[in-house]
Structure 1
């Protein structure tokens, strides 16, 4: 199974889907999908790096927490992740982002406000991990 993500048509909000052979890869693709809904980062070099940990939680909580962190950092620091590396850490998640200032990218869509829990999906099937998330804009 390859890694990837896409945006799915959704009334008034944005719906993203992501997939990868492993859970952490799927989480990274979900971050890329979220950023792609509102920013064109193609060819933009990373100018910063940050690491953080998400607390213990089930897979759904880690997915929502990670996407919420994208929105939080955009609002408070004006930064966006270009590359995401995630790995398990004591029941939680250790994340490393290579980042860029939001001013350095072209905004191409509505900036997300929150991650919705409605119709959230994050699970493993015979081919790998998949998630689907609705984002309020």
Structure 2
């Protein structure tokens, strides 16, 4: 049986929407992998070059709420600024929230390959720590 890498993500089959899974040794790495998984559900970033950088903070909350806050921000910036993260750095903030830094590109620099997510569904959302690190599974409404 092939061992799963310590950090990664994948899309998994889902009836009507898009479902992603991500994993990493730490909570912040798992959130960063989930961002990459979300972006890869609808665009091909091959050859895209980051031409901007942006940061934001997610206020303190439960781990699942922090994850949803970051993924919601991806969708919000896509809708309002035509901007996508190519690289994601997530750090724990001293107040219990998250500090996120993205290297970004415009939507015109990538190729659309799937349905654009409209929202993060709370149905069947999971974000847990286990013996092998953190895992999350999220359904995206398209």
TM-score tier after normalising by the smaller chain length = over 0.9
The whole-number CA distance in structure 1 between the counterparts of 2:35 and 2:46 is: 15
Q: Does 1:59 align with 2:43?
A: no
Structure 2 stretches lacking a partner, 5+ long: none
User: Match of 2:14?
Assistant: 10
The whole-number CA distance in structure 1 between the counterparts of 2:59 and 2:27 is: 16
User: Match of 2:52?
Assistant: 48
- The structure 1 segments of at least 4 consecutive aligned residues displaced by more than 3 Å after TM superposition are none
The whole-number CA distance in structure 2 between the counterparts of 1:30 and 1:79 is: 17
Residue of 89, 98, 101 corresponding to 2:103: 98
The whole-number CA distance in structure 2 between the counterparts of 1:65 and 1:105 is: 24
1:1-137 alignment runs, 5 A limit: 2-89=6-93, 90-137=95-142
**What is the TM-score normalised by the length of structure 2?**
0.95
Compute the RMSD of aligned alpha carbons: 0.7
The whole-number CA distance in structure 2 between the counterparts of 1:17 and 1:108 is: 19
Cα deviation, 1:72-115, whole Å, max 9, x if unaligned, reads 00000000000000011111110000000011100000000000
**Cα deviation, residue 27, structure 1:** 0.3
